[in-house]
């Protein structure tokens, strides 16, 4: 029972609805814990939004797509390895991926494949409580999840899925050699800085292509995730069928997660907005069939998110139908004028004359006791 709110709305005495974790997967604050005044500034510095429990969120049931224990192990594996490479200062053509890391990563991907075999749609917002300090690793895992969902939907074999998931986990490895001041620059990049960042696809391919522990298809994920159907992508400006299916899948998954993910210098877009962008670029940059499949696999209005209906009323998404995710059950609590009223649940599969007009990143609303 929880709903998502902006951390700007936190105040002492609120009850945390979902646990918060640091960059290594350790619990910072446990679900159900009362938030103390001394915690609030620290939370704001690390998270853009959190989940809280209150009367408005009563009855919302979250079933985490990936168990937190698994998520923690994946993040730990990625962060430990990436940080060791950073400390060593290795050049991208001298990286050695050992048997231990390759085996652990493949086991993680195998676990994710098993999890997704029983998942028809992702109902939660995977970017919702990603801390700023571990966004890189969360992004890598999220891209792997989205890619595997697409891979399963188009019927890739188990061995292909393992390569796809591993490649998705490592698709941004080339960013290890992009200077921090360029990679995390909050403002507009110069043309020179953009060129530096674009090198990460080449660098990632170079780092992965000669790894005896990995399939060469894994290297292709790093190489091609920024290629676009019309040839406007990089590093090789490939077109259409010149792009491997892994590259086409990664393009959709990577852009989607990058656009919904929150950063210290900007808020992410809501899923519905990002999906609209992907469709607008289908057949130009992205494969239309893959985008269409993806739109049915990821809830555009995740559980606990706030939406405005076509009649102006504001509410909270409390239930998502597997076959009709665009028509969720919404718990309404405000009218068009912003006046609160006793919450009522409206099932949009039954109220066909009403549509969702707008979604919000976080529930920037008054609390209802």
Which residues face 315 on adjacent strands? 307, 332
Sequence spans of domains, the chain: 3-57, 68-297, 306-359
The CA distances from residue 16 to 20, 36, 60, 351, in Å, are 9, 11, 14, 33
Tokens of 166: 């591993």
Residue reference for tokens 């289908």: 282
Per-residue pLDDT reduced to its tens digit, 275-329: 999 999 999 999 999 999 999 999 999 888 889 999 999 999 999 998 899 999 9
Per-residue pLDDT reduced to its tens digit, 23-77: 666 788 888 899 999 889 888 888 878 888 888 888 877 677 888 788 888 888 8
Quote the CA–CA distance of 252 and 269 in Å, as a whole number. Answer: 15
How confident is the model at residue 365, as a pLDDT?
37
How confident is the model at residue 216, as a pLDDT?
93
Cis peptide before 288 (omega within 30 of 0): no
What fold, for 3-57?
Molybdopterin biosynthesis moea protein, domain 2 (3.90.105)
- For 116, the 3-state DSSP assignment is helix
Pair 105, 214: CB distance under 8 Å: no
- For 328, the 3-state DSSP assignment is coil
Pair 174, 207: CB distance under 8 Å: yes
| pTM assigned to the model | 0.89
Backbone angles phi, psi at 171, to 5 degrees: -60, -30
Residue reference for tokens 């028509």: 327
CATH architecture of 68-297: Orthogonal Bundle (1.10)
Quote the CA–CA distance of 147 and 164 in Å, as a whole number. Answer: 7
How confident is the model at residue 96, as a pLDDT?
78
The CA distances from residue 133 to 44, 185, 264, in Å, are 12, 15, 10
User: Which among 16, 13, 14 has a CA at the least distance from the CA of 2?
Assistant: 16
Q: Which residue has the higher pLDDT, 127 or 204?
A: 204
Per-residue pLDDT reduced to its tens digit, 232-255: 999 999 999 999 999 999 999 999
Tokens of 47: 């998270």
């Amino acid at each position: 029972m929880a709903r998502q709110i902006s951390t700007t709305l936190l105040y002492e005495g609120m009850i945390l609805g979902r646990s918060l974790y640091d960059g290594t997967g350790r619990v910072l604050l446990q679900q159900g814990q009362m938030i103390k005044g001394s915690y609030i500034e620290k939370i704001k510095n690390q998270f853009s939004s959190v989940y809280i429990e209150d009367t408005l969120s009563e009855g919302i049931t979250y079933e985490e797509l990936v168990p937190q224990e698994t998520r923690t192990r994946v993040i730990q594996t990625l962060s430990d390895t990436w940080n060791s490479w950073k400390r060593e200062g290795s050049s991208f053509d001298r990286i050695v991926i050992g048997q231990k890391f390759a085996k652990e990563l493949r086991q993680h991907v195998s676990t994710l494949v098993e999890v997704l075999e029983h998942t028809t749609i992702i109902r939660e917002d995977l970017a919702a409580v990603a801390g700023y300090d571990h966004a890189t690793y969360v992004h890598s895992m999220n891209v792997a999840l989205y890619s595997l969902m697409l891979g399963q939907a188009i019927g890739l074999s188990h061995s292909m899925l393992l390569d796809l998931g591993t490649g998705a986990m490592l698709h941004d490895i080339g960013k290890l050699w992009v200077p921090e001041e360029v990679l995390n620059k909050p403002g507009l990049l110069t043309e020179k800085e953009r060129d530096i960042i674009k090198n990460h696809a080449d660098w990632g391919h170079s780092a992965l292509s000669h790894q005896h522990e990995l399939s060469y298809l894994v290297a292709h994920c790093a190489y091609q995730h920024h290629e676009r159907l019309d040839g406007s992508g990089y590093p090789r400006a490939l077109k259409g069928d010149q792009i491997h299916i892994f590259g086409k899948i990664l393009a959709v998954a990577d852009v989607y997660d990058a656009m919904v993910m929150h950063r210290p210098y900007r808020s992410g877009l809501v899923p519905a907005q990002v999906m609209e962008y992907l469709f607008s670029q289908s057949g130009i940059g992205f494969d239309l069939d893959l985008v269409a499949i993806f739109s049915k696999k990821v809830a555009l209005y995740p559980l606990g998110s706030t939406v405005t209906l076509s009649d102006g009323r504001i509410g909270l998404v409390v239930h998502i139908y597997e076959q009709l995710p665009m028509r969720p059950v919404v718990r309404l609590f405000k009218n068009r004028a912003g006046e609160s009223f006793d919450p009522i649940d409206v099932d949009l599969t039954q109220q066909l004359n009403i549509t969702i007009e707008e979604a919000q990143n976080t529930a920037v609303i008054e609390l209802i006791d």
